[in-house]
Each structure stands twice: as structure tokens, then as C-alpha cells.
A and B are shown apart, each in its own frame.
Chain A
Amino acid sequence: MSALETHHLRLAMLPLSDSAPLVVAADQGFFAEEGLDVELRVESSWAAVRDAIQLEQVEAAHLLPLMPLAATLGLDGRPTPMLSALTLNLNGNAISLSRPLFEQMCTLLPEATAHPQRRAEALARVIAARREAGLEPLRLACVHPFSSHHYLLRAWLDAAGIDPDRDVELRVVPPPLMADQVEAGWVDGYCAGAPWNDLGVERGVAVIVCEGYAIWHNAGEKVLGVREQWAERHPNTHHALLRALIRAGHWLDADAEHRLAACRMLIDGGYLALPHSVVEAELHARFVAGEGRDAQRDIHFARFNAQHPWRTHTLWFAAQLYRWGHFDDEIRLREAVERCVRPDIYRAAAHSLGIAAARTELCSLGEHALPHRIDADDGGSLLLGADSLLEGGRFDPSAPFPASRAQKPSRQR
């Protein structure tokens, strides 16, 4: 690759377990080996990350998968065309409910509560009972309007016949405050990423009722986002940044010791001021337990071809925007997904490291309950993880916006 257009990069991130690739790339010298001097700017809210990238105070950011699309469409902040050429991880989210609410579910519908897949049914029963008693709707929180957590939570509720706009009150609560707000009784449950569900459990205030994995096996979680204009003007720097982060992802998934080291980097580096046990629960303990079947449920940084920026994944989120009445123009959605998700740029970076990429533009969703192989562009094949959706649901990326969407217009996002 030719000379870098710039060496100094500012990268905005939130301190989360899945910001590990960024922290690892800095700590292990992967950025430096690409000739990059990267300043990690730790922000406290997705709003601050959004402002930083839109005001051009940073060149790249660790983002929720919907954020580049929402910025491009002008839904979030000021209209700013953005793109992502790298998925930073799959999985890691979960839904937690307050202990008293979970106990009520156990009392009302014990047989359903025992099965993770049927817990939402028990929740529906509690909601019906509350309505009869004239009580206020339960309050459930996610982390941001354009978060994967928001739409995973909606999908989980919807599958049990719970209308997320009418039967519950959806709110946003910053993840570090989730456990506190549950304890204070201000919210009854939440969908968030690691380590915030494990913190709720550790504090004894919440119970994890459903892993994000159960809603969507191997859902794309965080992405690396850059402004489209920046990428056009700095192709070589972008390429180098992608290479460093691809290497960081592979490093994280290569060895359990690396996972443990990453936990230490996150804690000792001052990113997550939490007990080791809480951070290790998701990043390390699962990875170690994962020699068997559970390996698939783990947070993946590189395994199962995790880094490929699949348009299918972003289309699923786009379909949720459409499904819930949060954005109505399917043509613009489709165009924006094409523009925002750039497997071509990923492919070039992967190839330069000797890593094969998928030959197809789209992956399946809702068709594989087990890991499966697809064709690679080097003539070999690649292993992808299971891609099941809740209740055997299927998603056709060639027809992502169903004609029959929710009957009523949503009043809340």
C-alpha cells in the first residue's frame, strides 16, 4: 500500500467490554506497526461519540451498528455520510429483568420461566396482570435510540405478543446506571452489552433472562465507523487502521490468555473501573468454557468470520427501523445500506494480511442453527457461526422490507 495520508488519528470509543479490539491494538502496538499514532478518546455517551465524529474532532469511532446508517440518513445528529468497513464483534448483549419482576414471572407462569425461550411469555402474563390491576406499564431500558439493544429488545417483546410501544414504556438509561436504576425501581429491566448485565447479577438486583444470542445467533454488534469523505481522502490510512484492528480481533480470539490480558488492559488501563470477575465473565470465562458447544455463544472478535461487514446485518437493523415506523422510505434505506457498509474495503485490508474473505455480498440470516461453511474468495471456504433468529424466524436480505408491517404507526421509538 502506498504512503499514509496522515499518521495521527483520533478514535472515539465508549468504555465497554467490546471496545477491547481498540485497546488491544493500542496496547499490543498494532497501530504503531502500521505507522499510526492513535489517540483513543474515551467518551461517556453515544451522543458524545456521535458529536465527535460529526464535528470532525475524531477521524474514526467505535460505533453501534446502526449509527453509520442513522447518521447518513440524517436521523441522528446532522446528516453525515458515514461508512463502516469492519465489524468489531458479534454477540455480547443480554436482557436483564429486576429480581422482583422475575420472581413475579416465576409465580405466574413457572413452566415458562424455566425456559429461556419462553420467559417473554411469562413477562406478557405479568403485563396483563398489571393492566387488570390498573398499574402503570413496566419500564424497560436500552442504551440509545439507535442501538442494537433497542431493536433486539423490541424483537424479543414482539415475539411474545408484547407491543413495545403500548404494553411497556421504553426508556434509555446509560449502561453504567442500569443496575442502580433497577435497584431504585425506576426501571424494571434492560437490554445492554457486557459487562452491564453481569454487573446487575453481581449486585444481586437483576436476573439475565435472555441472551442476545437467543434473539439472533451471532448478531453484528460494534463496528468501526468513519466519515465517507474522510475515507475517500485517506484510503491508505483507513486501510492501515483496518489492518491494525483486524489483527487485534484475531489476537483476541487466538488464545484464552489473550482474553484475560484484554480484561486486564480494560481494567488496569482505567477503561472499566469494575471488579475483574464482572469483566471476565463475558470476555474470558465464556471463552474458556467454550471448548464445547458454548463456544458459539461467546462474544466473537474474529472467529466465524466475525469481522466481515455484512450488508445483511445492517439490513436487518434497517428492517427494524422500517418495521417500527422509525423510518418509512425503504428505497433510501436500501441505498444507504449499500453506501454505508463496505465489504470491498474490508476485503482489500483482509487480503493484504493473507486473510480470505467471503465471496458473496450477503450472508444468510435465520437459516443455520449450527456453524456452516461458505465459499471464500481464495477458492477455499470460511466457517460462519449459526445465524438463527428467535422462534425460527427467517430474514431474506433480498426482500428486507415486508409489505405487511406493524399495523399501527408507532408512537414511540
Chain B
Amino acid sequence: MSVRVLIVDARSERSHTLERALVEAGFEVLMVTDESCDLHGLVERLEPDAVLIDTRLPSRDVLEHLGHINRRYPRPMIVFSREADSALTRQAARAGVSAYVVEGLVPSLVRSLIDVAIESFETHRQLKHELTRARETLNQRRTIDRAKTALMERYGVSEAVAYGQLRKLAMDRRTTVFELAGELLEQLVDTRPRKPGAKSPDGDEGDDR
């Protein structure tokens, strides 16, 4: 029986790379979702064997809770990792992916699941890096301006404050202002009419840090 996996990631490009890689490795991907869904309800309904989630997403705490209320639900990898697996857990943390698995899952499968996840996240990061360098264009300026305007409209702040927030957020998350602006816009556009997932720019979970 194959291992049933739920992917939670706000970056559709990366999550679909991961999905393909998992399927190739023999895993069953139940669904790819982001934080705009009711994650608690989804895990209750799907009962996945494992959840792979972008480490940056605040919704990790939803999974922590589920892991405590019922043994059927996946629990954080750190609970299972012995000293020998610490390196893998650390490597996953560095790659920006967190795994939640149900108790009793075969260790070799867990290892392979996490290996695939790490590889996908790292490949994506490299691709993204090259792409960013190639894209030093006017387009960047436009995206940043649009994000700035969106912030000004949404929170009633001045242009200077909006840009200041973008810049500092980008610095803190070790991403470029342009990347952050793009993701912010995606979220703001995606979430009209408003639904969870649309919120403060601070909740822009899709970014690298």
C-alpha cells in the first residue's frame, strides 16, 4: 500500500515539482494545498499518512495540534528522529521543508519521502535564484510598485511606509523586494473575495527566508 501524502505549500511551481517527484518515487499525493484552505478539516477528512509543509508556514501549528489530539494524524518528524536521523531533520529544516508522519510508518519510506522533499525544495531554490538574476528588468519595478499600491490601499499607509515594510520584510526573509512583492500580489489577487490566506503582508508565507 502506498504512502498517502498531503502537500502544503504556497508556491504552486515548487509544490508541483514536489508532487511529480513523489509520484515518481511511488508515493500517492492526495492533494496540494496552501493556507487558504481549512487545513484542520482537510487532515480530518483525508487522514494522510504524511504531510509535507513549507517550514515557513504558520499553519505548522495546526498540524502540531492535530498530532496531539489523535494518533491517526501525522506528527512532527522531530518526535521520531533519533540521534542518527538528526542530520536528516536538520537538512530538511535547512531546505525549508517540514515533515509530519503517522506513527508506525516504515523508517526507510519516511527517509525516502524526506529525501525527495529536500531535493525538490533545493532544486527549486537554485532555479529560482538563476531566474531572479536573469530578470533584472523594468518588470521588477512594476511589480514592486503594484505591491506598494496594494499595501497602501489595504492598510491605509503612506508610500514610504509601504515600501519600507516591503524592504524590511524582504531583508528579514532573505529574499528580494521583487520576489516578495510578486508573492504578495499573488496572494492579494488570489484572495478576492477575501478568504483565509488573505491578510497582512506579514502573513505572506510563500517566501524564502
Kindly list the 3 A-B residue pairs having the minimum CB-CB distance in the complex, ordered from nearest: A270-B168, A174-B58, A172-B65
Among B19-27, B113-121, B135-143, B199-207, the stretch that binds chain A is B199-207
Among A1-9, A42-50, A287-295, the stretch that binds chain B is A42-50
Given known A77-B78, A177-B203, A273-B202, contact A47–B155 (CB-CB < 8 A): no
- Contact of B38 with A47 in the complex, beta carbons under 8 Å: no
Q: Is B111 an interface residue (CB 8 A)?
A: no
Which residues A174-192 have CB closer than 8 A to chain B?
174-177, 179-181, 183-184, 186
Please report whether the interface of chain B is mostly helix, strand, loop or mixed according to DSSP: helix
For B68, list chain A residues within 8 Å (CB): 145, 413
- Contact of A45 with B57 in the complex, beta carbons under 8 Å: yes
- Contact of B64 with A177 in the complex, beta carbons under 8 Å: no
Which residues A106-165 have CB closer than 8 A to chain B?
143-145
Which residues B162-207 have CB closer than 8 A to chain A?
164-165, 167-169, 171-172, 194-203, 205
- Contact of A272 with B202 in the complex, beta carbons under 8 Å: yes
Of chain B, the residue at the smallest CB distance from A272 is B202
Measured CA separation A267–B200 after assembly (Å):
12
Which residues A305-356 have CB closer than 8 A to chain B?
none
For A144, list chain B residues within 8 Å (CB): 61, 64-65
Among A51-59, A227-235, A385-393, the stretch that binds chain B is A51-59
> Which residue of A77, A180, A274 is within 8 Å of B202 (Cβ)?
A274
Smallest beta-carbon distance B114→chain A, Å:
14
- Contact of B93 with A55 in the complex, beta carbons under 8 Å: yes
Q: Is A379 an interface residue (CB 8 A)?
A: no
Which residues B59-101 have CB closer than 8 A to chain A?
59-65, 68-69, 76, 78-79, 81, 86, 89-90, 93, 98
Measured CA separation A268–B171 after assembly (Å):
12
Given known A180-B195, A180-B199, A272-B202, contact A44–B57 (CB-CB < 8 A): yes
Q: Is B40 an interface residue (CB 8 A)?
A: yes
Of chain A, the residue at the smallest CB distance from B169 is A270
**Residues of B at under 8 Å CB distance from A?**
35, 38, 40-41, 55-65, 68-69, 76, 78-79, 81, 86, 89-90, 93, 98, 155-157, 161, 164-165, 167-169, 171-172, 194-203, 205, 209
- Contact of B79 with A44 in the complex, beta carbons under 8 Å: no
Given A177-B199, A274-B200, A413-B68, 17 additional A-B pairs, CB 8 A: A44-B56, A44-B205, A45-B60, A47-B76, A48-B56, A51-B89, A57-B93, A77-B78, A173-B40, A176-B203, A183-B196, A186-B41, A270-B165, A270-B168, A272-B202, A273-B201, A274-B155
Measured CA separation A267–B89 after assembly (Å):
33
- Contact of A174 with B79 in the complex, beta carbons under 8 Å: no
Measured CA separation A413–B199 after assembly (Å):
28
> Which residue of B60, B78, B196 is within 8 Å of A186 (Cβ)?
B196
Query: Taking each of B89, B156, B171, B172, which has the highest tally of chain A beta carbons within 10 Å of its own beta carbon?
Result: B172
Q: Is A250 an interface residue (CB 8 A)?
A: no
- Contact of A268 with B164 in the complex, beta carbons under 8 Å: yes
- Contact of B78 with A273 in the complex, beta carbons under 8 Å: no
For B156, list chain A residues within 8 Å (CB): 275
- Contact of B35 with A177 in the complex, beta carbons under 8 Å: yes
